[in-house]
């Protein structure tokens, strides 16, 4: 089984910028967001990853947490849920 090639520039930018948080979509072109989260967390265990997805967050959450993400937000609710989620993420 062939694995999709994960763009090196994502990891290069993460190493270069050293962000505290990365927002990922589960369904990204050319890569799987869950696998990407696992690889990012292997390189930087303290990195906070939050998924933003059109998929049902209740179904996605267990897989997101397993991949190393700290949570997920439904794209349809991003306007109301993003800031409270970020506050919670950085205050806990």
Report the pLDDT value the prediction gives residue 3, as an integer from 0 to 100.
Answer: 43
What are the structure tokens assigned to 8, written together? 């090196």
Give the strand pairing for 48-53 and 21-24: parallel
Average pLDDT over residues 10-17: 85
CA distance 62 to 26: 13
Q: Is the pLDDT of residue 15 over 90?
A: no
The whole-number pLDDT of residue 5 equals 54
Q: What is the dihedral of CA 24, 36, 72, 84, to 10 degrees?
A: -50
**pLDDT single digits (tens) 25-73:** 887 767 788 888 999 999 899 999 999 988 888 888 899 999 999 999 9
The whole-number pLDDT of residue 6 equals 59
């Amino acid at each position: 089984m062939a694995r999709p090639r994960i763009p090196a520039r994502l990891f290069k930018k993460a190493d270069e910028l050293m962000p505290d948080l990365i927002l990922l979509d589960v369904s990204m072109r050319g890569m799987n967001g869950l696998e990407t989260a696992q690889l990012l967390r292997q390189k930087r265990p303290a990195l906070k990853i939050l998924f933003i997805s059109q998929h049902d967050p209740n179904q996605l959450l267990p897989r997101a947490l397993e991949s190393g993400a700290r949570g997920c937000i439904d794209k349809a609710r991003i306007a109301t849920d993003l800031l409270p989620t970020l506050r919670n993420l950085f205050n806990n």
